[in-house]
Amino acid sequence: MNNSLYRNFYKNFLLVMLLPTSVLTITLLFFNGYVLIQNMANLSSNTGSVLEKELTYYTKQLSGCRNTLISESIPLTISSGMDSYSKFQLIRKLDNFKNILGYCRNIGIIDMQSEKVISSDGEITLSLFFDTADSQFVHKAWESMDTSSLLYPYQATNSTNFLYMTGQKNYPDTFLFFTFDSYHLYHTISDLLKNSNGSVILENHITGELFPLGNPSDENTLKWYKQSVSDFPEFSSFSIQGTTLIGRYSFPAYDLNFYIFIPFSSMYYPLITILAISAGILLFSFCTGLFLVRYMANTNYTPIREIRGLIPQDHLAKEGNELVQINHAIIHMNEKIGDLNTKLNMHRENIRRSILVKLLYQQYSSEQEFLEDARVINIQYLYPFFTICIIKNESRQNIPILYEYFSKKNSANCRYFSLDSLETKQMILIFNSKDNTAPFRITAENLYQDICHTLGKHITLGVSEEYQSFSRIPVLYEQAVQALNYSFVTGKDTITFYSDSTSSNTVPAPLPEIDCIRLEKSILDCDDTLLLQLFYDLFEKIQTSGHTLNSIKIHLFSMFSHIRRMLFQLNISDYQIIDNELTAIFMNSETIEELFNLLYAIMLEIGRNLYTVSDKDKIELIQQYIYEHLCNSDFSVNSISAYFHISLTTLSRFYKQKTGQNISTFINDLKIERTKELLVRSNHSIEYIVEEMGYSNTSSFIRKFKSIVGMTPGQYRQIYKDQQEM
């Protein structure tokens, strides 16, 4: 590519794209600066003049002499409101004040309405709050400033103008007085001296409405101030004159920082303006880009066609068009790949259709064949010993396949229709081949719930709750019985269909329930006697029930699922191997005796394998569970036992043997330690901490805490605070 082509491109790009964008950006900055100043309004000129006077005073006092101490009285009576011009002048004064005191780090503005700091640089040391009707905001704003205060802010009562100062980690000699009432002022001064070790000297007069004392004749007020004077000689110069507290204090000028909080008017207008102009710039850039593309397309430089190599067409022609040939070859190859993918998808669909028919109506020669086919089409299925398998049908696209298969196989009429009138979820419809009456319907939303079990001569189907809510369902079942020459018996949540050769009076006895809880306990405790007794009783009842082997396998499937879930929760390393062995037992057993013998052997093996796990790992798992659930209200030793599927006695004995400590004692000690942490690291009440630790009775917890620690929670917290203050 020649250099002139590049030069023309960049020249056009700079002229058409960057230059207008830069001009618009600069214009936007100037405009928003003007809007920002205009929106600094709604404050009266009185405030501006007062603050201007104060800033002028501080400027004169501190300019050029950093170590000069302030020793004159400064009234800080601030009214509400400031007009736009006064506020503009105030901002200029603030900037001037900041420039003179280059070491002053904090001059900023806060929006009282949104409770967010608009501008700030550095840590806050001295703060002026005014025009604040809601004292809660001041408290909230102070907490959001990330200061390391030596004092806690108190709840304000009746004060709209006050001074807020606190000691900072970088400014240990500067403090905040917050004076909501005389009681809080006294404790503030007390805490101030305790934390500063008496190093603060009061020399400056504090007058005006900044520190209102309320009623100076109140005995408690006088008592508090007398106490402060007698306890702390540094404050001996404090006096009460009318409703004003006069005190003297001083601090180095280089530690004096100002942070002015000013009610800010709405910022919505400038923000909307910024967004609108930014959107205009983006739109202009987009249009300019389109213009550039069209401009370059009409010249000898055509990037649309040469985007891969950025090489002119004439250069391609000179080089023998190798790149063009390669591109054509790639396009041709992609077309071939597309054709192959189409054929592959068609082949997969044909395989899927054949597998579907095979799965529904043909027998498999082996278990592996069934499982492989099921994985290929990714369907829900039960196990091969089920004589009827129903596939979950989400898109109803399989229904035509069933229709086609029925028509060809039985040479009879078969039809399907929509289920919209029933307002049910996805279903598979299997029609009878003798009559065109109502179909035999089987829900396929959940195979394990809808199909309970399949027997040799009768079929039992689970009835969904949504079915029972429709009055048409019994009629449909009757029509199905008439069409298929079946009789049926309804149960609580099932309907059993019987063929012609089986009478409804010869229903086999119900199979016994399996006590999975006791079975699980015998496995976990490795109790051979209990396990053998359970299997023997179950075998005796099932053998005399008259059920076929397939129905017994299906009935035992719930036990099989329970054991699999238990192994998975215990995170057994050989889980997959044991799971495969259980599956093989169900699939390959040919007699009831063989089925029970194999099941008993593998259950016994599972229990013994559990005890081969490292005792250290078991203890770690138990303690990890305790740490994670310690504060839950329903947490107890019983919940640990239930989670790990082990009896309470076995758990307690095992933990005692391996750690030398009762598990209950360990839990109580752990709760006490966490309670201690909450007592010293938070200001929450005792009742709140007790509730957080999962206790419901505060009194009983306090007694337990005292019996272990030797003192009450309140005494423990107070001792810790006293040690910190020392």
266: left (phi over 0), alpha (psi -120 to 50) or beta: beta
Q: At what angle do helices 592-610 and 516-524 cross, to 10 degrees?
A: 50
Per-residue pLDDT averaged across 462-474, rounded?
A: 37
Between 187 and 611, the more confident residue is 611
The pLDDT tens digits of the residues spanning 8-34 come to 555 555 555 556 666 666 676 666 666
How far apart CA 131 and CA 162 sit, in angstroms, is 10
Closest CA to 495 of 457, 456, 451: 451
Query: pLDDT value at position 111?
Result: 35
Contact (Cβ atoms closer than 8 angstroms) between residue 111 and residue 118? yes
0.85 exceeded by pTM: no
Going from the C-alpha of 309 to that of each of 179, 303, 326, 330, the distances in angstroms are 75, 9, 12, 15
| Weakest mean pLDDT among 18-22, 42-46, 340-344, 579-583 | 42-46
Task: Say yes or no to pLDDT of 541 above 70.
Answer: yes
Task: Say yes or no to pLDDT of 672 above 80.
Answer: yes
Per-residue pLDDT averaged across 223-251, rounded?
A: 45
Per-residue pLDDT averaged across 662-686, rounded?
A: 83
Of all residues in the chain, the percent with pLDDT exceeding 90 is: 0
Phi, psi of 569 (to 5 degrees): -65, -35
Q: In what order do the strands lie in the sheet with 487-490?
A: 453-454, 458-462, 494-498, 487-490
Alpha helices in 197-321 (DSSP H): 219-231, 268-297, 313-318
The pLDDT tens digits of the residues spanning 254-305 come to 222 233 333 333 344 555 666 677 777 767 776 776 666 566 555 544 444 4
The pLDDT tens digits of the residues spanning 164-216 come to 333 333 333 333 333 333 344 444 444 444 444 333 333 333 322 223 333 44
Query: pLDDT value at position 603?
Result: 75
**Using 50, 70 and 90 to split pLDDT, how confident is the model at 362?**
very low
What residues does 31 pair with on adjacent strands?
none
The pLDDT tens digits of the residues spanning 388-406 come to 233 333 333 434 443 444 3
Task: Say yes or no to pLDDT of 2 above 60.
Answer: no
**Using 50, 70 and 90 to split pLDDT, how confident is the model at 385?**
very low
